[in-house]
Structure formats: structure tokens, C-alpha cells
Amino acid sequence: NAGVTQTPKFQVLKTGQSMTLQCAQDMNHEYMSWYRQDPGMGLRLIHYSVGAGITDQGEVPNGYNVSRSTTEDFPLRLLSAAPSQTSVYFCASSYSSWETQYFGPGTRLLVL
Amino acid sequence: GIQVEQSPPDLILQEGANSTLRCNFSDSVNNLQWFHQNPWGQLINLFYIPSGTKQNGRLSATTVATERYSLLYISSSQTTDSGVYFCAVVFDRGSTLGRLYFGRGTQLTVWP
């Protein structure tokens, strides 16, 4: 049971490049979500999904896309990277939003 | 508006001391979690506690939902307790259902 896994661990992008951050879980959780963490702040919700085929926006969705084609995977796409998207990105999963959420190890992204 | 406030923002202790961290939230909740973010950035679940009291070793937590606050107690602190402690909630109302809101955290430093 690997829990929540994220790849890559680190990434450097140039402004304007696109990329996909991968997130997978093997706990059969319906609820998955993406957060970003900036220095001195708590985590902020980007997008979330309550099940395959269903996604919704969080607090800071601009510049990011998501899709949920399977229960296990929830990739986050940066369409055209900007320096303001330099952050640490965390993926989380749970059976539902009102139950314990489990976090992946994070992806550190630097946009130059 | 929606608020999750943690206090104190910083706490410095000597090994063996006890401490209390506080989380105030602005509305009724159906999920409240305490996390520890260690110096390597990993988010570790401490408690799922939307109401009541729980204990796990030297740590315990109490949530008084009717008064909209939660407390995390750390007894006999150790250097390995250092890091940032986050409170996160899911508010129990329609427009914010499914969204986990984080406080800004308490930075704890424990000296030997």
C-alpha cells in the first residue's frame, strides 16, 4: 500500500512551458485534491474531485487544469507556466471531504 | 468571511516543556484535522477531530465545535516535534463543501 504518490519530486520550468504533475493513490479513495503551499502560508486548494469524471475549482484555480478519468489518478496540468506558480504542490486523497485526508510527499516547482 | 486562525504563529521551547496550540474557525465544520509538517516538508496526519478529545502518546487534541476552536497539546516536547503545525477544516455549508481550508500554521522550534 503506497498511499499517495506524486511525481516528479522536483521540476524546473521556463516561463511559458507546460507540464503535468502526477498524483496517484491506491486506497480506493473517491475524493482527491491539489494544493499549493507558498512560503509562510498554509496550503491553498487549487482543484478537487469527488469521483471519476467530476472535478471542481478550489480557491486558486487559475492557470491549472485537472481531469479525473480513473479513481486512482488525478493529474494537475500547468498550461503556460508563470513565475507566480513557483511553489510546492501537494496532492491529497480521502474517502470523502469530511474524512481524514492523506497527503503525498509534494512536488517542488521552480518557474524561471 | 471564511477564516481559520492559528496562534501563536511562532513558539520556541526547551526540550521537556509543554505547549498548547490554538485554532479558531469562523463557522461550523464537519472536518477538522491537525497536521505536522516536518523540516523535510512532509505533511503528517496527527488528528482527525471535528469534535471531542483524542490522545496519541504525548499529543492530544480537543475541539469544542460549538465555540469554534480546537487545541493541540504537546507534552514533554522533543526536538523531533519541531516543524510547522497546521489546522485545517471543511466548513459545513453549501458554498464551501468539499474544500479543506488551512490556517497559516504555528512554527514550533524545540531546543535541546
Q: What residues of A are in the B interface, CB distance below 8 Å? A: 31, 33, 35, 40-45, 48, 50, 56, 58-59, 88, 90, 92, 97-103, 105-106, 108
Give me A85's grid cell. 506558480
Q: What is the pLDDT of residue B92?
A: 79
- Rg over CA atoms, chain B: 14
Q: Which of B7, B97, B100, B101 to mutate to test the interface with A (most CBs of A within 10 A)?
A: B100
pLDDT at B97: 63
Phi, psi of A11 (to 5 degrees): -155, 135
Q: What is the DSSP string of chain B?
A: ---EEEE-SEEEEETT--EEEEEEESS-EEEEEEEEE-TT--EEEEEE-SSEEEEETTEEEEEEGGGTEEEEEE-S--GGG-EEEEEEEEESSGGGTT-EEE---EEEEEE-
**So what's the pLDDT on residue B72?**
98
Range A25-53 average pLDDT: 92
Q: Report the pLDDT value the prediction gives residue B29, as an integer from 0 to 100.
A: 87
Bridge partners of residue B55, in order along the sequence = B60
Please state, in angstroms and rounded to a whole number, the distance separating the CA atoms of residues A23 and B108: 29
Q: A78-99: per-residue pLDDT in tens?
A: 999 999 999 999 999 999 877 8
Does residue A60 have a pLDDT over 70? yes
| pLDDT for res B96 | 60
Q: Please say if the pLDDT value at position A45 is more than 70.
A: yes
Selected for mutation to probe chain B from A5, A43, A96 (highest B CB count within 10 Å) is A43
Which residue in B83, B97, B65 sits closest to B21, CA to CA? B83
Q: Is the pLDDT of residue A3 over 90?
A: yes
DSSP state of B94: G
Whether residue A21 has pLDDT greater than 90: yes
For A20-26, what is the mean pLDDT?
A: 97
State residue B95's pLDDT score: 59
Determine the pLDDT at residue A14: 97
What is the full per-residue pLDDT of chain B (112 aa) written as tens digits? 778 999 999 999 999 999 999 999 998 888 899 999 998 899 999 999 999 999 999 999 999 999 999 999 999 999 999 999 999 998 877 656 668 899 999 999 999 9
Contact in structure between B83 and B108 (CB atoms under 8 Å): yes
